[in-house]
Structures are given as structure tokens and as C-alpha cells.
RNA sequence: GCACCCGUAGCUCAGUUGGAUAGAGUGCUUGACUACGAAUCAAGAGGUCAUAGGUUCGAAUCCUGUCGGGUGCACCA
């Protein structure tokens, strides 16, 4: 029996008894985790609730402690319950049978859910404009998204990961303008440049990063170049010309670079849907028809939106003109970004009635394939799976896009009321900004006004930001120095491998430990720390446990774990002794992993699993420091210590893997 | 102007549907390695939870006002 099942059973028992006491059905029973292990393993504040209900019924004041007392006897008979105490003003605190739960903890692999595949869920994340390298803000998106995917999968869901490629937007056009009009390069020359960059260990996306910033500067005093931008954008959208081919090469190369960067962080995708296909396969036209059919959209006849097709954002009566109407088709007949997004969202939910064509894009080292969309019939390949058509869609997009995301959600719900707004979830998060000190460290000159700010927004257009690759390289280098010092006996490739694992662990944890709506004000010192509340700390706690087991040997380990059921009586006794609570707190925390994963999903908040993992590592380190497992003379005690260490090791390994953090052999 | 988010220790942040003595990390002051590897552990100092009211058995948490900070409100993407 898992902790969640046990909790459910207890809740039901309390609920039925509570209904009996107050004479009317009680719907939901609240549960809490007591602040200290000594107070018990699960607490029901039900008596306070009942006292209120009874007072309302009879007008008489009731003592919550007395009510709690009357519920107590019913639960006490249950197998897994050791004791129940009435504490404080009337808490019903339940103590589990520790040795019994330890046994089930060793049987179950925590965090993995057996059973049937649930509905298909689609998660879109990363979606970096393919005109430059990714920066740490994009990493926050990707790490949040990837971790959320891992959480969903750990909970038994079927998940498809999409990385949307906006390959026909102005941002790509800007870099293309840079290549053609500033660098004076045509396609073949750009390809040669790309080869030269690669040979000298430089990156194409970093070249584009600088070029994009240069174009931005030029625009400010070069009217002529600005007109080239509109021209270029038009040619790219139209397709089938030299500029479009050049743009396609640039965008595709940037996508390849970004995918490389993300794979360093173990972030992978199933499908790359592109904006060009949404255009060329006429997704919008289809969505437009559907919207007109359902009267979700209308043509504004007068006012400032005259000649545009608009969607009413708030329900309103009377005139056809409204402040909050959202324009989906401009008066010149072209569709806005939000319009295309509605069509794309409908496809994701399987509501559009059209599909992309696909071709194989690339393979990951682990053999997994990435596919990309195409409009080209002759290039299309047969897919092994069908994409899109998800029951629920999560879009990982920063909070600044809350408004357009809400329009998309409402738009889809207007056309398909039966699907509703709940099928589209905007997983929104705050941005990563730079501290003024960090911006100066990157070599940017700040005005006095900038310096007085608490943070400075990153800007691709200005080239202001910490590039993802630079960040990872820096972390790896720092980690490598430490690893080399601590493990001089290892060869350099091994040291590098471990350093990479530590760097990624530190980076992913750093980006996950903040809750979504906290602005991360990036600071190099904090972000590169390997001590304190870091991914490194969590990895180290696990490595230490692993090293105990390595010294112990597989046979001795299995023998100890195998003997657990037969030592049940001795374990009960040991759990009751001085350090029993402290040993038990490791086990019960490890058992809460499954519950934590569910919580993290329900609240769409990956920080919950991160904080949990750190807590578990801390509890485990405390245990590690206090007990000498290998030197323990008492065989019963030794078996117990091994079993406790094993539950912690399993839960830590599983929790870290859910965060995409791997565990080095040594560190 | 309207909408949304935020204000908790010197600093960076957690704090579950309202619950038990408001917690971590970091920095500071101390102490612990001939090691199941100290990227660790222990101890100490550090708080009027921005502010004023309200709701109730109970509020950092819910409601209202005020002050301070952020973001969004394009026929950009």
C-alpha cells in the first residue's frame, strides 16, 4: 500500500464518521502534514470544522477535543495505524505503523505510477525565435517545460513535446536583412561561413546573436534598411524565392544549434511545428471558417477597427465596437499572430480538421527521433505516430504573453464550447532579468537610471543577455576544477563527464527552485554556487548513499533488505527508541514523493518537487552524518539503517530524475 | 486609466484548500574530518510577514483601502 492509498483510506474513514456525528454528509476532509514527526504522520483538523457545524445546528458550543476523541476509536482499528493522539486545540494526529510502511517503501519504486495510460497531453515549450542563440531566459522556459513533462510522465500520462518554430516572423527577417545588406552574403557564402565557424569551434547561433544586435542598432539611423525589413518579411512569407531559401537555411541552422544546447540539459522534443506550415497549409483559413460559422468572430463596420475581423474578448451588448475586441484579421486581410495561434491551438486539441505533413528532422544520441512539419508533399514521410489531438494542452510561455494566451484559450472555447477553456492551460512564468552588476559584468555600459533599477530586462534585440552555452561552459569549467582537485585519480574524460553532470544539475535546480511568478534576478555568484540549496547538494547526498552501498556490496545489501520483513518486531522497537523519530522522518519523507509529484502537477508548479528534493537531501545528509552504517555492530540496527538509507536513495534518485538531474558515480 | 503579479531575516527566496512555536539558503560569529569522501554537519545572532482596517475559535495566507515595485493592455510577432 502506498502512502497516497493509505491516506485516501483514512480520509474516507474520517469522512464517514464525521458525517455520522453531524448528521449530514461531509464532502471533503482536509488533511495536513504535522510540523514535526513527533506530532504524527498525518493530521486531521476535522474537529474544528465539526464544532462549527454543530454550533450552527444546535446553537451550543462544542469542544473540538471531545469531538476528535469520538472519531479516534474508529480509525484506531485500522492495520496501518499504530496510534492516534488528540493534540493542541483538537487535532487528530495519526501515527503509522513504521515497520510496516518501511516494508512497502522498499517494495514500491517511488514516483512511478503503475496502471493504465491516461489521456494524451501536449506540452509546448522552448519556442525560441530561430534567429539567434538561446539565453538563460529561454533556459528557464525549457527547464520548466521539460520538468513538467517529466512530472506528467512520472504520473503515468502520455505526453507529446512540441517546440514551436516561428520561422517566418520579423525576428528571422531581421537577421536575414543583416546577412544580405550588412554582411553582403548570399546563401552559398553563408554556408561557407557556417562551415568556417564550425571548424574553428565557434557557433552559428552566436554569430547571429551579434548580427541581430547590429541590425537593431543600424535600424535606428538607417531608414533604407528598415524598408528592406518589410520587403524581406514579405518575401519570406510568400516563399519560393531566394530570400526565403536563405531565411530557411538561417532559421534551420539556428534550430539545430538551439536543439544542441537543449540536449546538453537532457531536454528533448518530439515535434517541431513551424509557422511556415501553418501559413502554407492554410490552417488559419480553416479556423477562420469555423469561427465565422459559430459566430465567434465578426467584421467591424465602423470605429477604429473598421474593416477588421475581431473577436469580442469580453461579452458585451449593443454596439459592435468595443475596447477589448481582439483583432484577428487586419483591414488589409492579413492574419495576426494571435489568429494563427488559435488555429495552431485547435490543431493541438484535434479540433481543426487539418493536419501537417511531416518529415524526419534529426536523431538524438539516445536514439529518439525528432520530427518537423513540412508543406512539401514530395519531402513528406510517413510518421509512426500521430501528432496533436491532445485532450489537454499546456503552453509554457512567459507571463508577458498572458493576454494573447487568454485570447487563444477563449477563442478555442468559443468555437468548441464542449471542449471548454480547461483544455488549454497557459503555464506562465516570470522572466529572468539581469542584476545591474551582472549586466556590467557582461560588458554593457549602464546609465545611472539603469543602475538604480532592481533589475534589467534581457533583450535579444540589444544583444543583452547571458547566452545559454556560455552559462553551461562556465559552470562546467568551475565544476571541472573542483572535480579534478577532489578526484585526482580519475582520468580527464571522466572528470569532464562528472563536471558536466554537476553543471547541468546546478543549472536546472537553480532555475527550478524559484516559484513561477518570481522574477529571477540573475546573479553570477548565486547561479554558479555549488554549496547550500543547490542541485549539487542534492546530487552529493545521493552519491554518498550510493557509495555506502558500493562498499557494502550487492550481496550484503540484498541480504539486509531481504531480512526486513523478518525483523519487523525489532524494527518497531528501534523506531521507538531515541533516534527512532529521526530515522522515521527519512522514510516518511521519502514516501511522500508520489504525493509531491501530484501536487506539483495540480498546481503546475515544478518548484514544489525541487524544494522537496532539497529537503529530502537535507534529511538524508543529517541521517548520514549521524549514523555509521558500515560500522554498526547490532545486526538489527544495521539492517534498519540500510533499509532507511535505501528508501532515501531510491526517492532521491527518482526525484532528481524527474527534474532531469543525473547522478554522478563520484564527485 | 484598466487588468494581472509582487512586498516575509542584512541579501536571495519557501511557506499547501486559513491551522500547532513563521522556515530554508546565503552572509556573519563559533565548533566538528588519520573520512560509509566535509560540495557536509552542529550551535548562535538575525522577523511589528509593506501599512491600516475587516471576516473568525484561528490570518503571512481570505476581503477592502493606502503606500511602494513589476508586467501587460498595437491593424508587432
Say what the pLDDT of residue A318 is.
Answer: 38
**Residue A540 CB neighbour total at 10 angstroms:** 20
Residues A325-381 pLDDT 10s: 889 999 999 999 999 999 999 999 999 999 999 999 999 999 999 999 999 999 999
Of the CA atoms within 13 Å of residue A664, those in its CB half-sphere come to: 27
Residues A438-455 pLDDT 10s: 999 998 888 888 888 889
The pTM score is: 0.95
Which three cell numbers, joined as nine digits, stand for A295?
459566430
Question: Which nucleotide lies closest to A28 by the C1' atom and the CA atom?
Answer: B17
What is the residue-averaged pLDDT of chain A? 92
Looking at strand B, which nucleotides approach a protein CB closer than 7 A?
4-6, 12-17, 19-20, 23-27, 36-42, 57-58, 69-77
- In chain A, what are the domain boundaries? 3-96, 434-525, 535-658
How many Å does it take to go from CA A207 to C1' B71? 31
How many Å does it take to go from CA A497 to C1' B26? 28
For chain A, the residue count is: 667
Say what the pLDDT of residue A393 is.
Answer: 96
Closest amino acid to nucleotide B22 (CA–C1')? A35
Closest amino acid to nucleotide B26 (CA–C1')? A532
Between CA A111 and CA A647 the distance in angstroms is: 12
Element (H, E) at A99: helix A98-107
Say what the pLDDT of residue A117 is.
Answer: 60
Question: Which nucleotide lies closest to A435 by the C1' atom and the CA atom?
Answer: B12
Question: Which nucleotide lies closest to A529 by the C1' atom and the CA atom?
Answer: B39
Task: Name the residue among A132, A71, A11, A56 with its Cα closest to residue A458.
Answer: A132
CATH architecture classification, A3-96: 2-Layer Sandwich (3.30)
**DSSP secondary-structure letter at A311?**
E
Closest amino acid to nucleotide B19 (CA–C1')? A45
For the ranges A108-117, A150-159, A284-293, A588-597, which has the lowest average pLDDT? Answer: A108-117
Question: Which nucleotide lies closest to A49 by the C1' atom and the CA atom?
Answer: B57
> Do the domains A535-658 and A3-96 match in fold?
no
How many Å does it take to go from CA A619 to C1' B23? 15
Label residue A305 by pLDDT band (50, 70, 90). Answer: confident
Between CA A9 and CA A84 the distance in angstroms is: 15
Residues 6 or more apart from A172 whose CB is under 8 A from it? A129, A130, A131, A166, A236, A247, A250, A251
Mean pLDDT of A249-258: 98
Q: Which SS3 state, helix, strand or coil, does residue A517 take?
A: coil
How many Å does it take to go from CA A517 to C1' B39? 29
How many Å does it take to go from CA A660 to C1' B8? 31
How many Å does it take to go from CA A620 to C1' B41? 12
How many Å does it take to go from CA A71 to C1' B58? 22
What's the sign of the alpha-carbon dihedral A248, A254, A260, A266?
negative
pLDDT tops 50 at residue A315: no
Residues 6 or more apart from A276 whose CB is under 8 A from it? A167, A168, A239, A375
**DSSP secondary-structure letter at A169?**
S
How many Å does it take to go from CA A43 to C1' B57? 18
Label residue A245 by pLDDT band (50, 70, 90). Answer: very high
Question: Which nucleotide lies closest to A521 by the C1' atom and the CA atom?
Answer: B12
How many Å does it take to go from CA A28 to C1' B62? 19
Q: Are A166 and A127 in contact (CB under 8 A)?
A: yes
Domain A535-658 adopts which CATH fold?
Isoleucyl-tRNA Synthetase; Domain 1 (1.10.730)
Amino acid at each position: 500500500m502506498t502512502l497516497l492509498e493509505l491516506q485516501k483510506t483514512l480520509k474516507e474513514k474520517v469522512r464517514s464518521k464525521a458525517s455520522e456525528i453531524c448528521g449530514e454528509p461531509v464532502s471533503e476532509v482536509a488533511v495536513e502534514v504535522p510540523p514535526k514527526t513527533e506530532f504524527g504522520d498525518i493530521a486531521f483538523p476535522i474537529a474544528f470544522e465539526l464544532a462549527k457545524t454543530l454550533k450552527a445546528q444546535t446553537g451550543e458550543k462544542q469542544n473540538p477535543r471531545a469531538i476528535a476523541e469520538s472519531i479516534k476509536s474508529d480509525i484506531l482499528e485500522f492495520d496501518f495505524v499504530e496510534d492516534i493522539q488528540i493534540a493542541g486545540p483538537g487535532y487528530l494526529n495519526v501515527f503509522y505503523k513504521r515497520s510496516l510502511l518501511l516494508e512497502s517503501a522498499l517494495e514500491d519504486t517511488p514516483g512511478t505510477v503503475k496502471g493504465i495510460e491516461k489521456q494524451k497531453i501536449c506540452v509546448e515549450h522552448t519556442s525560441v525565435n530561430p534567429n539567434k542563440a538561446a539565453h538563460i531566459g529561454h533556459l528557464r522556459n525549457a527547464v520548466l517545460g521539460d520538468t513538467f513533462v517529466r512530472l506528467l510522465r512520472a504520473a503515468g500520462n502520455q505526453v507529446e513535446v512540441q517546440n514551436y518554430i516561428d520561422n517566418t516572423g520579423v525576428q528571422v527577417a531581421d537577421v536575414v536583412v543583416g546577412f544580405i545588406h550588412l554582411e553582403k552574403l548570399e546563401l552559398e557564402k553563408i554556408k561557407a561561413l557556417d562551415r568556417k565557424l564550425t571548424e574553428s569551434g565557434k557557433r552559428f547561433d552566436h554569430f547571429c546573436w551579434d548580427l541581430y544586435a547590429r541590425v537593431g542598432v543600424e535600424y535606428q539611423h538607417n531608414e533604407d534598411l528598415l524598408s528592406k525589413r518589410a520587403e524581406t518579411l514579405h518575401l519570406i512569407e510568400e516563399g519560393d524565392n531566394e530570400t526565403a531559401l536563405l531565411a530557411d537555411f538561417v532559421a534551420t541552422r539556428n534550430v539545430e544549434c538551439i536543439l544542441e544546447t537543449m540536449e546538453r540539459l537532457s531536454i528533448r522534443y518530439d515535434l517541431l511545428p513551424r509557422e511556415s506550415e501553418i501559413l502554407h497549409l492554410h490552417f488559419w483559413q480553416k479556423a477562420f471558417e469555423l469561427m465565422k460559422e459559430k459566430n465567434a468572430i465578426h467584421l467591424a463596420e465602423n470605429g477604429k477597427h473598421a474593416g477588421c475581423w475581431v473577436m469580442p474578448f469580453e461579452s458585451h451588448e449593443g454596439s459592435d465596437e468595443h475596447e477589448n475586441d481582439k483583432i484577428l484579421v487586419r483591414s488589409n486581410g492579413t492574419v495576426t499572430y494571435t489568429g494563427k495561434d488559435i488555429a495552431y491551438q485547435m490543431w493541438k486539441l484535434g479540433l481543426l480538421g487539418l493536419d501537417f505533413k511531416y518529415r524526419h528532422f534529426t536523431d538524438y544520441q539516445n536514439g529518439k527521433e525528432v520530427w518537423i512539419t513540412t508543406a512539401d508533399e514530395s519531402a513528406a514521410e510517413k510518421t509512426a505516430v500521430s501528432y496533436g489531438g491532445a485532450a489537454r494542452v499546456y503552453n509554457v510561455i512567459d507571463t508577458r504573453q498572458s493576454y494573447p494566451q487568454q485570447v487563444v484559450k477563449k477563442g478555442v472555447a468559443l468555437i468548441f464550447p464542449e471542449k471548454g477553456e480547461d483544455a488549454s492551460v497557459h503555464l506562465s512564468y516570470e522572466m529572468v532579468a539581469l542584476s545591474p552588476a551582472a549586466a556590467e559584468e557582461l560588458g554593457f555600459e549602464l546609465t545611472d537610471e539603469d543602475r538604480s533599477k532592481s533589475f534589467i530586462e534581457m533583450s535579444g534585440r540589444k544583444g543583452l543577455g547571458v547566452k545559454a552555452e556560455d552559462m553551461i561552459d562556465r559552470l562546467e569549467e568551475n565544476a571541472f576544477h573542483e572535480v579534478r582537485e577532489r578526484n585526482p585519480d580519475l582520468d580527464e574524460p571522466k572528470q569532464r563527464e562528472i563536471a558536466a553532470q554537476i553543471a547541468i544539475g546546478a543549472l536546472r535546480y537553480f532555475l527550478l527552485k524559484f516559484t513561477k511568478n518570481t522574477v529571477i534576478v540573475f546573479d553570477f555568484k548565486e547561479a554558479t554556487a555549488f554549496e547550500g540549496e543547490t542541485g549539487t547538494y542534492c546530487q552529493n547526498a545521493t552519491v554518498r548513499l550510493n557509495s555506502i552501498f558500493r562498499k557494502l556490496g550487492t550481496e550484503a545489501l540484498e541480504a539486509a533488505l531481504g531480512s526486513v520483513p523478518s525483523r519487523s518486531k525489532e524494527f518497531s522497537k528501534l523506531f521507538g527508541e531515541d533516534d527512532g523519530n529521526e530515522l522515521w522522518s527519512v522514510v516518511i519523507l521519502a514516501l511522500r514523493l508520489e504525493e509531491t509529484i501530484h501536487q506539483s502537477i495540480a498546481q503546475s508548479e515544478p518548484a514544489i518537487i525541487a524544494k522537496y528534493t532539497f529537503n529530502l537531501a537535507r534529511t538524508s545528509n543529517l541521517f548520514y552524518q549521524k549514523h555509521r552504517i558500515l560500522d554498526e555492530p547490532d545486526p538489527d540496527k544495521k539492517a534498519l539503517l540500510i533499509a532507511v538509507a535505501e528508501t532515501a536513495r531510491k526517492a532521491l534518485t527518482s526525484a532528481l530524475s524527474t527534474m532531469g538531474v543525473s547522478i554522478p558515480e563520484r564527485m
